[in-house]
Chain A
Amino acid sequence: MKILVCVSNVPDTTTKVTFTENNTQFNTAGVQFIINPYDELSLTRGLELTEKLGGTVTTITVGLADTEASIRKALAIGATDAVRINAVPTDAYFVAEQIAAYAKAENFDLIFTGRESIDYNGGQVCGLLAEMLGLPSVNVITSIEVDGSTATMERDIDGGKEKLSANLPLVVSAQKELTEPRIPNMRGIMAARTKPLKVVEPTASELTSAAVGFELPAPKGSVKLISVEEAGSLISILHNEAKII
Chain B
Amino acid sequence: MNILVFAEQIDGSFKKSAFEAVSYASQIAQAHSGSVTAVVPGNVADDKLAELAKFGANKIVSIKHDNLNGFNAETYAKVICNTATAEGSSIVVISNTYSGKSVAPRVAARLKAGIASGVISMPNTTSGFVVRRSVFSGKAFADVNLTTAVKVLAITPNTFNTLENAQATNIANAEAGLADADFTTKSVEINRLTGKIPLTEAEIVISGGRGLKGPENWHLVEDLANALGAATACSKPVSDMHWRPHSEHVGQTGITIKPNLYIAIGISGAIQHLAGVSSSKVIVAINKDAEAPFFKAADYGIVGDAFEIMPKIIEAAKAFKVN
Contact = CB atoms under 8 A, between A and B. Distances in A.
Interface of A: 11, 13-17, 19, 37-38, 92-93, 96, 118-128, 130-132, 136-140, 142, 152, 155-167, 176-177, 207-217, 220-221, 223-228, 231-239, 242, 244-245
Contacts of B219: none
Given A127-B104, A176-B254, A238-B282, A156 B300 contact: no
Going nearest first, the 4 A-B pairs with the smallest beta carbon separation are A127-B105, A160-B192, A208-B114, A131-B109
B73 A139 contact: yes
B316 A232 contact: yes
B191 interface: yes
A14 B317 CA distance: 35
B135 A121 contact: yes
Nearest to B317: A235
Given A122-B118, A128-B108, A158-B97, A214 B316 contact: no
A233 B316 contact: yes
Contact of A225 (B144, B185, B302): B302
A78 to B, nearest CB: 21
Contacts of B128: 212
Mostly, the B contact residues are: mixed
A232 B224 CA distance: 12
6 contacts: A127-B103, A128-B105, A128-B115, A208-B112, A211-B142, A212-B143
B261 A238 contact: yes
Contacts, number: 271
Nearest to B295: A223
Contact of B117 (A123, A140, A157, A242): A123
Interface in B69-115: 71, 73-74, 77, 97-99, 101-106, 108-110, 112-115
A221 B137 CA distance: 21
Given A234-B316, A239-B320, A209 B116 contact: yes
Contact of B109 (A127, A157, A158): A127
B169 interface: no
Contacts of A136: 73-74, 184-185
A138 B101 CA distance: 10
Nearest to A159: B198
B309 interface: yes
Contacts of B143: 211-215
Given A93-B114, A160-B191, A220-B296, 7 more contacts: A138-B102, A157-B190, A160-B192, A165-B185, A177-B246, A214-B135, A236-B316
A152 to B, nearest CB: 7
B115 A209 contact: yes
Nearest to B227: A235
Nearest to B301: A223
Contacts of B200: 158
B271 interface: yes
A17 to B, nearest CB: 4
A231 to B, nearest CB: 4
A42 to B, nearest CB: 14
Given A164-B186, A208-B115, A157 B137 contact: no
A164 B105 contact: no
B142 to A, nearest CB: 5
A209 B146 contact: yes
A139 B249 contact: no
A126 B104 CA distance: 11
A221 B296 CA distance: 8
Contacts of A14: 270-272
A231 B312 contact: yes
A121 B104 CA distance: 14
A50 to B, nearest CB: 22
B51 interface: no
B204 interface: yes
B201 A159 contact: yes
A210 B145 contact: yes
B302 A244 contact: no
A217 B141 contact: yes
B91 to A, nearest CB: 14
B140 A214 contact: yes
B285 interface: yes
A13 B50 CA distance: 45
B134 interface: yes
Contacts of A223: 285, 295-296, 298-301
A27 B188 CA distance: 46
A238 B278 CA distance: 18
A59 B246 CA distance: 26
B144 A235 contact: no
